[in-house]
Structure 1
Amino acid sequence: MSHLYLDESLDLAAVAPGAVVELAGDEARHAVTVSRVRPGERIAIGDGRGTLVHGVVASTGPRELALEVDEVVVEPAASPRLILVQALAKGDRDELAVQAATELGVDAVVPWQASRSVSRWEGPKAEKGRLRWASIVREAVKQSIRAWLPPVASVTATAALPAALGGSRMLLLEPTATIALTELRPDGRDLALVVGPEGGIAPAELERLVAAGAEPVRLGASVLRTSTAGPAAIAVLNATLGRW
């Protein structure tokens, strides 16, 4: 199994087998000095925009690496997309949700400042939190060897969610819902899974989002933590959409 390294500045769309791709900067330094990648080893390099190149490392330096490409994999963008709208949560529960969701194939992540969120992203903390989640997503993409790097949006309040999701089909994960997620029939729209914080989605927020067109759905008889609900729902939708 190849190890994946990402360099979003690379243009890999026109690369063909036989070419040499050079990885530089911090990602190359990590590969060479931390992961101890050496000439002769097989790795993959991705641009985060759908292209992976596989091959054998030809040479290395302290902050550089050259890869002789023998295989190019181009993956089209997913349609419909799966979007995780994850409520901010205490501890690292929201981060665990984002990590697992990325490994399972989520296509975009939206941090949600829900009314019951104990954690608050305000002022400079908002961008710091977004960058933290983006770093978690990036590492999860590398671990799972994915061709696409999901974007992480700015933190969004409840009132702004419908507009921020731009016509996506909003699915509220709500244990009391009468419709099961397994009964869902996709209609071509992107699917946005809205996951509440500890204590669930507040009744007023639930009412507001439903009025905006959101659909409450349940996963099963048990109540899942905020760290597991989103990934579990993505697994269900992967099967529904034929991804798995």
Structure 2
Amino acid sequence: MTDARRKHVPRLHVDRTLTIGDTVALGAEQAHHLGAVLRLRSGADLVLFNGHGGEYPARLSTLNRKSAQALVLEHRQPRRESPLAVTLAQAVARGDRMDFAVAKAVELGVAAIQPLFTERGQIKLTGERLDRKQRHWQAVARSAAEQSGREILPVVHAPCRLDDWLADAAGERRLMLDPRAPGGPVEGATTPTSVSLLIGPESGFSDQELVAARASGFEGVRLGPRILRTETAGPAALAALQTRWGDFG
């Protein structure tokens, strides 16, 4: 099969084990998208992936308004995942700004996304509303992974308070965007394989939050002389990190 991106073959995420020769049942929403939106028919080519590595060229065996099935034909490993595992810790933003930040981070190779509640953030979510938002952001990540050729589906973790996350933050390098910082990250003796990247809300981190982040090992960095919006900062920083330590070189 020719490369899916050149042929515009649809890529679909399926949450199950995939094996060559299996017939995979697709959901009603996926069936509607394939038939009503893309106007495909039985026999059309697909690419399936389950988010655990590699992808599976397949062929639609049946398709109707409410269901579809696809036959798995082969397994391949195009190796599109970055060697740099970045966790984006993103302050929750209003409206579609958070959707934008999540989608672009996935396209740029992020490994995981941690939404954060901060002192100056104006988003208050609890209970079922919080659960719905997390599911929505995960769906945004899934759609971006399908479109961008990802083999791994990044997890959008349950939102939490910044101070709670800082207590368990990992990463060989820990970076936070700070427009008052003197410059970009200083080159270390070795290239890191993991980075935690901390992005503040529209109004920035409070002084107390900056002190707490530095106490947890985060270096303040800035990207040029301009102040970036919160939904722009994460993708811009990810692109810079992929250029320096990832797979943009």
What is the CA distance between 1:59 and its match in structure 2? 3.6
Q: Residue 42 of structure 2: which of 39, 46, 49 is its match?
A: 39
Distance 1:126 1:58 in 2: 38
Counterpart position of 2:3? none
Helix, strand or coil for the counterpart of 2:232?
A: helix
Amino acid at match of 2:203: G
Counterpart position of 2:85? 81
Q: Percent identity among equivalent residues?
A: 30
Distance 2:141 2:42 in 1: 28
Q: Residue 24 of structure 1: which of 16, 26, 30 is its match?
A: 26
Are 2:92 and 2:116, in contact at CA under 8 Å, matched by a contact in 1? yes
Are 2:54 and 2:75, in contact at CA under 8 Å, matched by a contact in 1? no
**Corresponding position: 1:64 with 2:68:** yes
Give the unaligned 5+ runs of structure 1: none
What is the CA distance between 1:57 and its match in structure 2? 3.1
**Corresponding position: 1:208 with 2:212:** yes
Q: Residue 115 of structure 1: which of 119, 131, 137 is its match?
A: 119
Are 1:50 and 1:76, in contact at CA under 8 Å, matched by a contact in 2? no
- May I ask how many residue pairs the two structures share in their alignment? 238
Distance 1:167 1:227 in 2: 22
**Corresponding position: 1:3 with 2:7:** no
- Within a 5 Å distance, the mapping from 1:1-244 to structure 2 comes to 1-9=8-16, 11-12=17-18, 14-15=19-20, 19-26=21-28, 27-61=30-64, 62-67=66-71, 69-70=73-74, 72-73=76-77, 75=79, 78-167=82-171, 169-181=173-185, 183-185=186-188, 187-244=191-248
Distance 1:32 1:73 in 2: 28
**Greater Cα shift, 36-45 or 169-178:** 36-45
Distance 1:77 1:164 in 2: 25
Distance 1:130 1:82 in 2: 19
Measured against aligned partners, the alpha-carbon deviations of 1:30-65 in whole angstroms (never above 9, x if no partner) come to 323443222343221111111211244344344022
Helix, strand or coil for the counterpart of 1:51?
A: coil
Distance 1:204 1:112 in 2: 16
Amino acid at match of 1:4: R
TM-score (norm 1): 0.87
Amino acid at match of 1:22: V
4+ residue runs over 6 A deviation: none
What is the CA distance between 1:168 and its match in structure 2? 5.2
Residues 145 and 21 of structure 1, relative CA distance in 2, 3 Å threshold: farther
Are 2:107 and 2:145, in contact at CA under 8 Å, matched by a contact in 1? yes
Amino acid at match of 2:237: A
Residues 119 and 53 of structure 1, relative CA distance in 2, 3 Å threshold: same
Amino acid at match of 1:134: Q
Amino acid at match of 2:213: L
Distance 2:23 2:240 in 1: 37
Measured against aligned partners, the alpha-carbon deviations of 1:189-221 in whole angstroms (never above 9, x if no partner) come to 521111111121111100111011111111111
Helix, strand or coil for the counterpart of 1:159?
A: helix
Measured against aligned partners, the alpha-carbon deviations of 1:121-142 in whole angstroms (never above 9, x if no partner) come to 2233221221121111111111
